[in-house]
Amino acid sequence: MELEVLVKQFQDKNHAAFETLYGMYSKSIHGVVYNIVKDTAIADELMQDVFIKAWHKADTYSSKKGRFFTWILNIARNAAIDKTRSKAFKQSKQNLNTDYFVDIIASHDNLDNSTDAIGIKNFVTQLGEKCKAVIELLYFKGFTQKEASEELQMPIGTIKTRNRNCIQQLRDMVL
């Protein structure tokens, strides 16, 4: 339960603990936010805002409510979606491209030939269309199971099991 100790320290306003958490999650948060706003500078700014917000709202988090990563992921998605709804954003991004996370990953140059990066690229290229859509909606866009089932016209139960299979494939690739 090392994470719980870390989170506890973070809630006690410990900078070092926060820095560790930041190191663990910032790239993921940036990825999620970037996938929504499709702009590096805006994603940078949003990610900072998200972590600052988490810092100030630290006492509202409880492990009973879910994983710490899930909590901060939620803050990030909400902030990014709010951003896309802002007037300024809409004006600057008339034609937001509809790339899924898979397209973004596939377009990245493999600067770091880490096993992770290779694994994920493999995963993405082999991933079925339905897996792409389910992961996109549930993890990146923050759709509920019900919303995803309506969007993809699949029964709710199917969403759940399909998602399980897709994540299982991902785990096989990267873990």
| Chain positions contacting another protein, by CB under 8 A | 13, 15, 18-19, 22-32, 34-35, 40, 43-44, 47-48, 51-52, 55-56, 63-67, 69-71, 73-74, 101, 104-105, 108, 116-117, 119-121, 123, 135, 138-140, 142-145, 160-161, 163-164, 167, 170-171, 174-175
CB of 81 to another protein, least distance (A): 14
Beta carbon nearer to another protein, 19 or 92: 19
What residues have CB less than 8 Å from 65, skipping those under 6 apart? 71
Q: How far apart are the C-alpha atoms of 72 and 74, rounded to whole Å? A: 5
**Smallest distance, another protein to C-beta of residue 7, A:** 13
d(CA 50, CA 36): 14
Rounded Cα distance between 53 and 130, Å, is 34
Q: Closest distance between another protein and the C-beta of residue 171, in Å?
A: 5
CB–CB of 47/26 below 8 Å? Answer: yes
Nearer to another protein, 92 or 165 (CB): 165
Is the Cβ of residue 91 or residue 109 nearer to another protein in the bound state?
Answer: 109
Closest contact distance (angstroms) between CB of 91 and another protein is 18
- Residue type, position 63, single letter: S
Question: How many CA atoms lie less than 13 Å away from 43 in the CB half-sphere?
Answer: 15
